[in-house]
Amino acid sequence: MLENAQKYFEKILSKVEGWLESFITMIPNFLLALLVIFITILVAKTLRGLAYRMMQRITRNEAIDKLTASIVFFLMVTLGLFISLRILNLDKTVTSLLAGLGIVGLAMGFAFKDIVSNFISGVYLAIKSPVNVGDIVEYQDAMGVVKEIGLRASRIKTFQGQDVIIPNRLIIEDKYTHFTINKERRIDLEVGVSYGDDLEKVEQVTLNAIHKIPYLKEDKQADFYYKEFGDSAIIFTVRYWVDYLPGNYLIYLRALSQGIKNIKKAYDQNQITITFPIRTIDFGIKGGESLADMLVEADKK
């Protein structure tokens, strides 16, 4: 019994001694592997900064600049890790690790397909640039300025001051309105005038008022169209164009406001009536009699 125990103890001791000898033998390789990883990280950080600055001069797209820099950093660190494992004679471990990563990557692809989809969409947005930082877009009920295009999601600052985060895949898949891609926008102003007004005069006065707006595009004329006979007014639409550039989106609101003020002032000066939903009995409109004359006539009878 004691002899068997002594044999087992000797085997264990021999095994431990072998491990110690292997460890002592591998100490230089281990230190060299650590040095390789340390140097690789320093080089990777330097190359990441260089890649970022170089891409800034080429694309001027923050998202793709950061993506390229991150890819350079990841590739350098991965290369250093594999070299370190090779120094430690762990080639088989590297092969097993790559095979395991493939299986794990496939499983994670199914589990995190939305995240992967958003990432791929972010890369597409960065490369194709259908939307850029500073553009004015409307997605569903959110309208505002694009402040950030990330690799997973994009951020819109609405005109009311809220931040709206939109997953990138929705920007690719869903419908959104891009207001600054053509750098111009049309204003449609709808007005109703009295049935007793001269329509030719209304059109001329309205266009003269619109032409006084300082924000109009010079290469596009204002358009005037009568639309319909309303319940208490003849409805028309006047259309005019303004520049709509990133960072200057308030021009649209100013041109709209100035158009309303100019029309109101011009109508007051030319005795043109802008109707509103109030029922008015007027027997003096063209072809009729005034109420005062009818009352006098009734008294005579």
Q: Where are the domains of the chain?
A: 2-111, 129-178, 184-269
Q: Residue 236's pLDDT is what? A: 96
What is the rounded average pLDDT for all residues in the chain?
A: 80
The pTM score is 0.57
Which residues face 139 on adjacent strands? Answer: 142
The percent of residues in the chain predicted with pLDDT above 90, rounded, is 24
Per the model's pLDDT, the better-predicted residue between 91 and 266 turns out to be 266
Domains 129-178 and 184-269 share a fold: no
Contact 197, 222 (CB under 8 A): no
CA dihedral 67, 70, 71, 74 (to 10 degrees): -160
| 229-268 as b/e: b if 16+ CB within 10 A | eeeebbbbebbbbbebeeeebeebeebbebbeebbeebbe
- Condensed to tens digits (0 to 9), the pLDDT of residues 98-120 reads 666 666 566 555 555 677 777 77
Average pLDDT value for residue range 64-76 = 83
Q: Residue 241's pLDDT is what? A: 93
Per the model's pLDDT, the better-predicted residue between 102 and 168 turns out to be 168
Is domain 184-269 classified as CATH 3.40.190.10? no
Average pLDDT value for residue range 203-222 = 91
Cα gap 132→75, rounded to integer Å: 28
> Locate tokens 């709209």: which residue?
256
Please state the φ and ψ torsions of residue 9, each to the nearest 5 degrees.
-65, -40
Helix (H, G, I), strand (E, B) or coil at 67: helix
In words, the CATH class of domain 129-178 is: mainly beta
Average pLDDT value for residue range 232-244 = 92
Range with lowest mean pLDDT among 113-127, 152-166, 213-227, 265-279: 113-127
